[in-house]
Chain A
Amino acid sequence: MTNSTDRKLLIVDDEPNLRLLYEAEFKSMGYDVTLAEDGPTALKMLDETKPDLVILDIRMPGMDGIEALSEILSKDNQLPVIINSAYSHYKENFMSWSADAYVVKSSNLDELKQKVEELIDRKKDTP
């Protein structure tokens, strides 16, 4: 049984309703969830909460997810990041390839949840 304090997620999305939905879903799975509405806030949270995984939207006002991804990588290149965008075309953007997974937004959260579990497990396995 994993201790929930080992499983901290940072969810970055500019859409308030989506943030609330994700928060409820992942909390019910035992995750400790922090929310950020944009890139700069996410980077601040990163330092404060030291998450185990980041779920990152791409299209956000100001700093977009691609830029935020670069910043996250410069702070901690081992931190798993899942890009979660409504659009699939950013997959063709080479700059998105350093994310650990790319999940297109859907009303069904199974794929996203599965990726989160997978990456958190993988992170635990590597010392």
Chain B
Amino acid sequence: MQQSQWMEVYKNTLTMILAGGRGERLYPLTQSRSKPAVPFGGLYRIIDFTLSNCINSGFRKIYLLTQYKSQSLDEHIRKGWNLFSAELGEFIYAVPPQQRYRDRWYSGTADAIFQNLNLLDQHKPKYVIILSGDHIYKMDYSKMLAFHVENEADVTVSTIPVSLNEARRFGVCQIDANRRIIGFQEKAQNPAQIPDKPGWCLGSMGVYIFNTTTLAREVSRDAKRDSDHDFGKNIIPSILNKQRVFAHEFEDINGKPAPYWRDIGTLESYFQTAIDLVNVNPEFNLYDNSWPIRTYIEPLPPAKTVWRGQERQGQIIESMVAGGTIVSGGTVTRCLLGPGVRINSYSNLEECILFNNVDIGRNCRLRRVIIDKGVRIPANTVIGFNPEEDKKRFVVTENGVIAVPKGYVF
């Protein structure tokens, strides 16, 4: 494709991010916010990864379709992502349900687009990129769009190899030699495996590119059917025979041996994915300047440790610490500390994830605890050493990860 043609393609592409995920299995982190707004990695929100991918790929016309408990997400977008030039036709808008269909939330991914067809009418783009605001990965969507255009596809689905076991949670594609999709099953018990890679399936990442007319037609048809109104379950399987539907292989730019793409579904996987970041060689590389992950950063002073001595010493070991945080005479090991955190003297934290402004009193012992924003842990508190006691007060996962919710009063 020539440069000028490519510019036309870019100009005629609109991005819609489905950012209404309730994230029920992430409760209590999703008690007061939607899944895309859940803090992650000390500084970020889950949505920042998808938005950074958009910016880094050059797509700057973005609608975020929100629904439940969207205030936290709205605020984050306003504060952290106000970097678009309306004069250049760029924007990011968080769109709550129009409720054109009275009293109704979106009943599925396709319904979310259907209920916002007015936005497509307004812009009349040629292509629409549909993304989920729930995932952590690095992806250059422009490569997928080039693939879509070159193949004269109606729809392109981004795919990643997933193990047979995992594949039961995904949509799984079968493709021909030209990567045209010839079969698609959503959350099947026995999904088809990749022919030359037994034990593996080609999973859909929930990343789609549609020609706009195909999209509008198919979601309108789907609205008239009794269906789950879901792209994976209903739309993709129903159009394989009539439309040119292609699978684009996810090209990871994370630079690690295995492609990295995570849909953080549970508290347990949230904890594992986040704590992995403190490793010497984590699976996900946040420190790659060629693909910056943006977020809102409060103007806070640098993180600091205070006190030095035998008993009372501020120490940060194998941890990530955001600005404004003071570790004062306590020790944190393999922890993620958000902005404005206080760790007071003689306290010891191991594998803990602390969101903004958490305050840990003196003499606390905490292990494998996720603590939501603003919680004050009183002096002498012990969490993570007695599962029976912990279960009486908190959500505790099978592997003993404990979540202390926002607003919890000791």
Binding site for B on A (CB under 8 A): 67, 70-71, 73-74, 77-78, 93-95, 97-98, 100
**Distance in Å from the Cβ of A32 to the closest Cβ of chain B?**
23
Q: Tell me the bound Cα distance from A93 to B117 in angstroms.
A: 9
Which residues does chain A contribute within 8 Å of B226, judged by CB atoms? 77-78
Q: Which of A67, A71, A74, A98 is B220 in contact with, Cβ under 8 Å?
A: A98
**Distance in Å from the Cβ of B136 to the closest Cβ of chain A?**
32
Is B120 part of the contact surface with A, judged by Cβ < 8 Å? Answer: yes
**Nearest A residue to B215, CB-CB:** A94
Q: Do the beta carbons of B121 and A74 come within 8 Å of each other?
A: no
Q: Do the beta carbons of B117 and A77 come within 8 Å of each other?
A: no
Q: Do the beta carbons of A67 and B100 come within 8 Å of each other?
A: yes
Q: Do the beta carbons of B100 and A70 come within 8 Å of each other?
A: yes
Q: Do the beta carbons of B100 and A97 come within 8 Å of each other?
A: no
Which residues does chain A contribute within 8 Å of B216, judged by CB atoms? 94, 97
Known: A70-B100, A71-B101. Is A94-B120 also a contact (CB below 8 A)?
yes
Q: Do the beta carbons of B102 and A74 come within 8 Å of each other?
A: yes
**Distance in Å from the Cβ of B238 to the closest Cβ of chain A?**
16
**Nearest A residue to B121, CB-CB:** A94
**Distance in Å from the Cβ of B245 to the closest Cβ of chain A?**
20
Q: Do the beta carbons of B223 and A73 come within 8 Å of each other?
A: yes
Q: Do the beta carbons of A73 and B101 come within 8 Å of each other?
A: yes
Residues of B contacting A: mostly: helix
**Distance in Å from the Cβ of A54 to the closest Cβ of chain B?**
13
Is B79 part of the contact surface with A, judged by Cβ < 8 Å? Answer: no
A-contact bits for B115-134, CB 8 A (1 contact / 0 none): 00110110000000000000
**Distance in Å from the Cβ of B19 to the closest Cβ of chain A?**
21
Q: Do the beta carbons of A100 and B224 come within 8 Å of each other?
A: yes
Is B197 part of the contact surface with A, judged by Cβ < 8 Å? Answer: no
Q: Do the beta carbons of A70 and B220 come within 8 Å of each other?
A: no
Task: Give me 18 other A-B pairs in contact (C-beta within 8 A), A77-B223, A95-B117 excluded.
Answer: A67-B100, A71-B100, A71-B101, A71-B102, A73-B223, A74-B101, A74-B102, A74-B104, A77-B225, A78-B224, A78-B226, A95-B118, A95-B121, A97-B117, A97-B217, A98-B223, A98-B224, A100-B224
Q: Tell me the bound Cα distance from A20 to B224 in angstroms.
A: 30
Q: Tell me the bound Cα distance from A105 to B113 in angstroms.
A: 30
**Distance in Å from the Cβ of A91 to the closest Cβ of chain B?**
12
Q: Could you list some 25 contacts between A and B, CB below 8 A?
A: A67-B100, A70-B101, A71-B100, A71-B102, A73-B224, A74-B100, A74-B101, A74-B102, A77-B223, A77-B224, A77-B225, A78-B226, A93-B121, A94-B216, A94-B220, A95-B117, A95-B118, A95-B121, A97-B216, A97-B217, A97-B220, A98-B114, A98-B220, A98-B223, A98-B224
Which residues does chain A contribute within 8 Å of B100, judged by CB atoms? 67, 70-71, 74
Q: Tell me the bound Cα distance from A73 to B224 in angstroms.
A: 8
Q: Do the beta carbons of A94 and B223 come within 8 Å of each other?
A: no
Which residues does chain B contribute within 8 Å of A95, judged by CB atoms? 117-118, 121
Which residues does chain B contribute within 8 Å of A67, judged by CB atoms? 100
Which of A70, A73, A93, A100 gathers most chain B CB within 10 Å? A70
Which residues does chain A contribute within 8 Å of B220, judged by CB atoms? 94, 97-98
Which residues does chain B contribute within 8 Å of A77, judged by CB atoms? 223-226
Which residues B75-130 have CB closer than 8 A to chain A? 100-102, 104, 114, 117-118, 120-121
A-contact bits for B368-385, CB 8 A (1 contact / 0 none): 000000000000000000
Which residues does chain A contribute within 8 Å of B221, judged by CB atoms? 98
Which of A67, A93, A95 gathers most chain B CB within 10 Å? A95
Which of A73, A77, A94, A100 gathers most chain B CB within 10 Å? A94
Which residues does chain A contribute within 8 Å of B118, judged by CB atoms? 94-95
Which residues B344-358 have CB closer than 8 A to chain A? none
**Distance in Å from the Cβ of B348 to the closest Cβ of chain A?**
56
10 cross-chain pairs, A with B, having the tightest CB-CB distances, nearest first: A74-B101, A97-B220, A94-B216, A98-B220, A94-B117, A70-B100, A95-B117, A94-B121, A98-B223, A94-B120
Which residues does chain A contribute within 8 Å of B223, judged by CB atoms? 73, 77, 98
Which residues does chain B contribute within 8 Å of A97, judged by CB atoms? 117, 216-217, 220
Which residues B201-226 have CB closer than 8 A to chain A? 216-217, 220-221, 223-226
Q: Tell me the bound Cα distance from A98 to B222 in angstroms.
A: 9
**Distance in Å from the Cβ of B189 to the closest Cβ of chain A?**
29
Which residues does chain B contribute within 8 Å of A74, judged by CB atoms? 100-102, 104
Which residues does chain A contribute within 8 Å of B104, judged by CB atoms? 74
Q: Tell me the bound Cα distance from A22 to B121 in angstroms.
A: 31
Which residues does chain B contribute within 8 Å of A93, judged by CB atoms? 121
**Distance in Å from the Cβ of A13 to the closest Cβ of chain B?**
22
**Nearest A residue to B213, CB-CB:** A94
**Distance in Å from the Cβ of A92 to the closest Cβ of chain B?**
8
Q: Tell me the bound Cα distance from A44 to B217 in angstroms.
A: 28
Q: Tell me the bound Cα distance from A125 to B272 in angstroms.
A: 53
Which residues does chain B contribute within 8 Å of A100, judged by CB atoms? 224
